[in-house]
Structure 1
Amino acid sequence: MKPSSLFLSVSAALISLTTGPAIGQTTERPLIPILRAGEISARCDLGLVGLRKQVAALEQMPAAKAHHAKTVFAVWNQLQMAIEDLQGPVDLLSNVSPDAKVRSESEPCLVDINKFATELLQNRTLYRRFKSIKGDAIETKLRQDVLDGFDDAGVSLPPEKRVRMKAIVVRLEMLGQEFARNVRDNNQKLSFSADEVKGLPADYLAKAKRDDQGNYLLGFEYPEYNPFMEYADSSEARERFQFAYANHGTPKNLPLLKEAMALRREMAALFALPSYADFVVRRRMASTPATVNTFLGEVQQAVTSSEQKEIEELRAYKAQTLNTPLADTKLNRWDVAYWQQKLKQSRYNVDQNALRKYFPTDAAVPWILDVSSKLYGIEFKPAEVPVWHADVKYYDVFNAANHQRIGGIYLDLFPREGKYGHAAAWPVRGVSTVAGRTPISALVTNFDRVGLSGDELETLVHEFGHVLHGVLSHTRYVSQSGTSVERDFVEAPSQMYEEWARRKESLQLMAGFCKPGCPEIDDQILQRMTAAHNYGRGIRYARQLLYARYDMALHNGTSDDPLVVWQKMEGATPLGYVAGTEFPGQFGHLMGGYAAGYYGYMWSEVLALDMLSRYHGKLMNPEVGQLYRKSILERGSELRGADLVRGFLGRESNSKAFFDEIAGHRLQ
């Protein structure tokens, strides 16, 4: 699972108006201001005063102007950009600043911005103003999105319900912050003896911290956790690490999740809707929870037999390797990654750790910039600018044809204490052509500094797909820029881009960036990598299905405890529930904008694999790349997702490629 970081500045109730955080300055090269401890509160207070003045001016607009669509949309656009300008640095730095004081001081500011956003969308004067205007096709779509945002914030509710709605939205923001903080700031280190780390690569052990007794101290960052689960020979050590990882949200997070569920149910009830899932999904491509559940049922039917087959195959391989009777051999949850890796090494001669020499990190980054440049007709030029940490790199982005600057990107690639712990892309600043505003995107990952595994290379490409979706956007209004599309479409561009991390015509370009040279990715290694990637798809999709079904179960009206629901649902899977684990307490998607929306990862993949067919197997074709840029990346949410895909494919989308992928029948 590769999460995007499309964090919401306000609750999911306001999703139709939020495009993600951004920074706006009136210089030729807009940059993210590097805020220090003690600066945030004053900046926030001053910014909110300015925003409220803009709202007052919009309310008091003379009648002659108030009925002129272009004027209203222009003033609204200025307000949305000002919100981004305030929110952006605070939201990003709350997740990436190395200064704990900056991170903690950011949270009250984000709550205050959240309150303002709710007040704005409950403003009945502005609501009536938008109801009374009309515009062209782009403005008609924006108008509907704005009205949906007002409606979702409760503008039409009775006064007492509007007050309660605002309180719920603010409390959900606070719960989400606390939930994320409990995960992000958990600096627990597990101690493992020399015997417990046998099987792990020498370079992994050389980088690990040690205590006074020589034991290895390991935390929950991906570069530490994932290789351990794949290579540590000690089943007991893997069990201990897996147990701690599943619980690293700490017991504090389960009550937060439970409270959030109750608030979301109450929110839906304010609108006389049967569930929070109904409230959320009505604005998505799927439209109704029933449609989502039908789709998940189709996935269940497609994946069940392959999951069971793979588990039995791994169990048999474990028994054969350990020379134990099959009847007495059990495959535990902490065994899966380890025995999959062993089987892939044996069957396909593919070792994920050994792949790092093919994908050195300092080559993989310029490689994906080069691939993107060739496909989309752009150029990336590094520049020295102020950054929040010495590891962070900045690039200006230009159109190759006319050398016009179109945006900027920040890359923050390596783990450190207190940093957001996964891989994600922040749509830091939205574009607006009518205002001459250029976009900024930020990539945040936690990669190994030396080299990437095949899976990590896919993560890099996936998240860079989100970066491109933001920085190549070319929309008239900022509210429609980049990744402001429906949540069950937003992953599709990035999921499609993953294919470029698995194909020879793109991967063979890597060698040009290796200093010294790296091994050639020939047909043989590529075939083995593809086979290794494809192996385990049953287990992989079944896990995604479990996450999606769990999310829908929590938000379809149930009042059960979230841990009890998880124990029941995971317990019904072939590998069962691991007693004592509290996975929901670190399932950040449930608190970070994907509540009642996790199904969107697979829904988006349907669209991603279908869009991939437009390349007809020639992934480095710049003509199709330019068509894709114009049809999808540049349009943001100026059209609905289904219309964007139809425009690119020249036909209605279908799910054949997705279900062929699950079944292992997709043609390369």
Structure 2
Amino acid sequence: MKKRIPVLKSVVCALSLTFSVLATASAERPVLPLPSVGEIGGQCQAGIADLNRKVSELEGIPVETEEGAEAFLKGWNRLQISLENLHGPMALLSQVSPDGEVRKNADACSMDVQRFITDLFQNAKLYRNMRIVRVNDDEERKLRQDNVSAYEDAGVSLLPDKQKRVKQILARLTEIDQEFSRNIRENKTRLVFTPYELQGLPKDYIDRLQKDEKGNFLLGFSYPEYIPFMQYAENDKARERYRFAFINRGTPANLRLLQEAVNLRHEMAVLSGYRSYADFALRRRMAKKPATVDKFLADVEKIVVSEEKRELDELRAFKAAVRQIPLSEAEIRRWDTNYWLQKVKQVRYNIDQNVLRQYFPTKASMDWVMGLASQLYGIEFKKADVPVWHSDVLYYDVIDKTTDKQIGGIYLDIYPREGKYGHAAAFPVQGSSTLENRLPISVLVANFNRYGLDLDELETMLHEFGHVLHGVMSRTRFVEQSGTSVERDFVEAPSQMFEEWAHDYEALSTLPLYCGNSCPKIDRDMLRRLNESRRFGQGIFYSRQALYAKYDMKIYSDKPGDVMDTWVDMEGKTLQGYDQGTQFPGQFSHVVSGYSAGYYGYLWSKVLALDMLSRFNGKLVNPQVGRFYRKTVLERGSELPADRMVRYFLGRSPDSAAFYEDISGLEVNK
């Protein structure tokens, strides 16, 4: 997932997770300043005072003249850079700092920045200037339109009492987003499991677990602990207990927060003259309106539900045979699904996800991913010694091979620790601006097993690094248009496309080079079995994704309803039904933050990702196509609408055939 909510374009959502460093007259190594607990408050106050001075300067520029228009656009760009400089370190450190006080103070600063942003986009003088400023090309024209839209979304043209209410709503939505995330991130619960309950789990997994004084095992909610448990623990009740705790780890407080966020967004949409928040938000995206999304999701469901039923029937039959029980008693509950999927894949395809970890050592896999990017896009990564927020974090300069010049920098923070953001995400922390010789920075934040990855985790690594590349290879004139600032329903496409290199023989055959040939090599037969095993379970996976997207659209419809009752009703109508007592919406952070009325974008982007992949014509390690993709998509950010960039890259209009082949389990030529 891409962890970003653009600061200046989408003020209707919670504040972004972008950061930057001071702009310089010439491009220098971009690194992150790391303020201490005591420095945060002072930096925040000084930064906001500087931002207000820049706003006053922009208000007085006569934008009707050619010289004035140029000065205004440059000044606007510098304002955004200063905003990144202030907010960036705070937003990132609130998620990754090992110091709880730093996280707390950074959150507080983010609230102050949000108040500034709301005031900025309710500034009538700047709104007028932005509406009438003279522009000279497509990039400037889109910059103007996107910002006029942002002003209107923030309620600048509403009557004063409505404008004031929108301001209150935006501030509260930021608080809700922070608190919702914190309730999950700061949860320090440890579940106690007996040795008996851990039967079936790999020895190396068990050996790394903490124990209590009685010799029982203590497990938290990090992915390296939870996912293998759900795949290998033989005890049904233990898996059920762990899943319930994992699903409910943010509740009941987060249910109240989500309900409040849904109600506030609905109120804001109505204040702006729209029937629903979905109508309000989608008019700025590729889909344009809820009816388009609803039809798209219905078309997906027509395929995936039948595939899901077929797969669940196969799992039931397999369970009945293994347990020697009647088929009628071989129920597959949600805490059973991953366990029995893994069992079937072991027998049918001779694929054991845990064994795959020796093929994909974590550090070597990360180096391999960077090596692929180097080969495809004509860049290289040079490790450098810079200040970091934790000893696990690594920094790399990103160099263009042709010019031998630095084009950006990346940080890698890929191992779990207490208090850290709990998922995998890319933070496009500093945007590019060629006007100011400003180089981009991206940060990869993940929670990978230190000792090796399974295939799903390798895909996740590629996915998130696809976001990193989208950010760090940006070459946009204006910082606001940098990298992943594209439409929400396109932003996942470049990262989803990069996942496919995990299934390509030519690419995977080079991975052993990055571990000194000490890890085994994937041969063609094994890759065939891996790809076939990956397809088994696609119906279950995509059916779940469709449910998430439909739920998101429902709660942001013109009749939002109760968030928990809606979930119980919708999940209850699925093939596996609703699990009594689970409260999934309380940890569904997407619908609280930037993916509200936008979760469908994961499926929508997948259509574009698989179609763009066809441009490689089955030869994924093709630098010629890779460099063309870099120039036409990755470097352009949001300078052009997404559909226009895709058409230019493909040489035609997008097509959904590859997507529907993928989700239906049909063989796709690789």
Aligned to 1:23: 21
CA distance in 2, matches of 1:399, 1:295: 40
User: Structure 1 residue 72: deviation in Å?
Assistant: 1.4
Residue 59 to residue 18, structure 1, CA distance change in 2 (3 Å): farther
User: Structure 1 residue 67: deviation in Å?
Assistant: 6.6
Q: What letter matches 1:88 in structure 2?
A: G
> For residues 482-535 of structure 1, what are the alpha-carbon distances to aligned partners after superposition, in whole Å with 9 as ceiling and x for unaligned?
000000000000000000111111111101011461111110111111111111
Aligned to 1:98: 98
CA distance in 1, matches of 2:216, 2:334: 25
What secondary structure does 2:534 align onto?
helix
Aligned to 1:287: 288
> For residues 166-192 of structure 1, what are the alpha-carbon distances to aligned partners after superposition, in whole Å with 9 as ceiling and x for unaligned?
100000000110000000000100000
Give the TM-score, by structure 2 length: 0.98
Contact 1:408 1:439 in 2 (8 A): yes
Aligned to 2:238: 237
Aligned to 1:79: 79
> For residues 76-135 of structure 1, what are the alpha-carbon distances to aligned partners after superposition, in whole Å with 9 as ceiling and x for unaligned?
000010000001000000000000000011111111111111111111111111111221
Aligned to 1:359: 360
User: Structure 1 residue 654: deviation in Å?
Assistant: 1.4
What secondary structure does 1:441 align onto?
strand
CA distance in 1, matches of 2:80, 2:63: 22
User: Structure 1 residue 4: deviation in Å?
Assistant: 2.0
Q: What letter matches 1:286 in structure 2?
A: A
CA distance in 1, matches of 2:383, 2:359: 24
What secondary structure does 2:198 align onto?
coil
Aligned to 1:570: 571
Aligned to 1:420: 421
* Equivalences for residues 504-543 of structure 1 within 5 A: 504-515=505-516, 517-543=518-544
Aligned to 2:120: 120
List gaps (5 residues or longer) in structure 1: none
Aligned to 2:4: 6
Contact 2:9 2:147 in 1 (8 A): no
User: Structure 1 residue 319: deviation in Å?
Assistant: 0.6
Aligned to 2:653: 652
Aligned to 1:251: 252
CA distance in 2, matches of 1:530, 1:73: 50
Contact 1:411 1:442 in 2 (8 A): yes
User: Structure 1 residue 20: deviation in Å?
Assistant: 3.5
CA distance in 2, matches of 1:193, 1:7: 42
User: Structure 1 residue 561: deviation in Å?
Assistant: 1.2
Aligned to 1:591: 592
What secondary structure does 2:42 align onto?
helix
User: Structure 1 residue 19: deviation in Å?
Assistant: 8.5
Q: What letter matches 1:289 in structure 2?
A: P
User: Structure 1 residue 559: deviation in Å?
Assistant: 3.7
User: Structure 1 residue 250: deviation in Å?
Assistant: 2.4
Contact 1:19 1:482 in 2 (8 A): no
User: Structure 1 residue 557: deviation in Å?
Assistant: 1.9
* Equivalences for residues 245-644 of structure 1 within 5 A: 245-515=246-516, 517-644=518-645
CA distance in 2, matches of 1:531, 1:68: 61
Aligned to 1:60: 60
Aligned to 2:174: 173
Residue 293 to residue 63, structure 1, CA distance change in 2 (3 Å): closer
User: Structure 1 residue 66: deviation in Å?
Assistant: 7.9
Q: What letter matches 2:305 in structure 1?
A: T
Contact 1:25 1:31 in 2 (8 A): no
CA distance in 1, matches of 2:147, 2:9: 15
Aligned to 2:669: 667
CA distance in 1, matches of 2:430, 2:63: 32
User: Structure 1 residue 354: deviation in Å?
Assistant: 0.3
CA distance in 2, matches of 1:65, 1:184: 51
Residue 213 to residue 516, structure 1, CA distance change in 2 (3 Å): farther
User: Structure 1 residue 359: deviation in Å?
Assistant: 0.5
What secondary structure does 1:521 align onto?
coil
> For residues 134-153 of structure 1, what are the alpha-carbon distances to aligned partners after superposition, in whole Å with 9 as ceiling and x for unaligned?
21111001110111111111
Contact 1:66 1:72 in 2 (8 A): no
Range moving further from structure 2, 63-72 or 140-149? 63-72
Percent of pairs with identical residues: 52
CA distance in 1, matches of 2:457, 2:285: 30
Aligned to 2:37: 37
CA distance in 2, matches of 1:642, 1:546: 26
Residue 664 to residue 216, structure 1, CA distance change in 2 (3 Å): same
Aligned to 1:150: 151
Measured on the aligned residues, the alpha-carbon RMSD in Å equals 1.5
Residue 350 to residue 540, structure 1, CA distance change in 2 (3 Å): same
CA distance in 1, matches of 2:381, 2:12: 34
Contact 1:17 1:145 in 2 (8 A): no
User: Structure 1 residue 435: deviation in Å?
Assistant: 0.9
Contact 1:10 1:173 in 2 (8 A): no
CA distance in 2, matches of 1:9, 1:216: 43
Q: What letter matches 1:40 in structure 2?
A: I
Contact 2:647 2:653 in 1 (8 A): yes
Aligned to 1:110: 110
Range moving further from structure 2, 13-22 or 355-364? 13-22
Contact 1:40 1:105 in 2 (8 A): yes
What secondary structure does 1:443 align onto?
strand
User: Structure 1 residue 574: deviation in Å?
Assistant: 0.8
What secondary structure does 2:142 align onto?
helix
Q: What letter matches 1:101 in structure 2?
A: E
Contact 1:7 1:426 in 2 (8 A): no
Q: What letter matches 1:128 in structure 2?
A: R
Contact 2:297 2:546 in 1 (8 A): yes
CA distance in 2, matches of 1:66, 1:188: 61
Contact 2:64 2:132 in 1 (8 A): no
CA distance in 2, matches of 1:214, 1:516: 38
1:206 aligns with 2:192: no
User: Structure 1 residue 9: deviation in Å?
Assistant: 4.7
Q: What letter matches 2:37 in structure 1?
A: A
CA distance in 2, matches of 1:271, 1:609: 37
Q: What letter matches 2:22 in structure 1?
A: G
How many pairs are equivalent?
666
User: Structure 1 residue 329: deviation in Å?
Assistant: 1.8
CA distance in 2, matches of 1:117, 1:506: 44
What secondary structure does 1:643 align onto?
helix
CA distance in 2, matches of 1:360, 1:402: 33
CA distance in 1, matches of 2:176, 2:17: 21
> For residues 542-566 of structure 1, what are the alpha-carbon distances to aligned partners after superposition, in whole Å with 9 as ceiling and x for unaligned?
0000000000000002242111100
Contact 2:224 2:449 in 1 (8 A): yes
> For residues 390-430 of structure 1, what are the alpha-carbon distances to aligned partners after superposition, in whole Å with 9 as ceiling and x for unaligned?
00000000100111000000000100000000000000000
Aligned to 2:134: 134
User: Structure 1 residue 21: deviation in Å?
Assistant: 3.5
Range moving further from structure 2, 101-110 or 464-473? 101-110
User: Structure 1 residue 16: deviation in Å?
Assistant: 12
List gaps (5 residues or longer) in structure 2: none
Contact 1:461 1:494 in 2 (8 A): yes
Contact 1:65 1:72 in 2 (8 A): no
Contact 2:618 2:669 in 1 (8 A): no
Range moving further from structure 2, 383-392 or 500-509? 500-509
User: Structure 1 residue 64: deviation in Å?
Assistant: 6.7
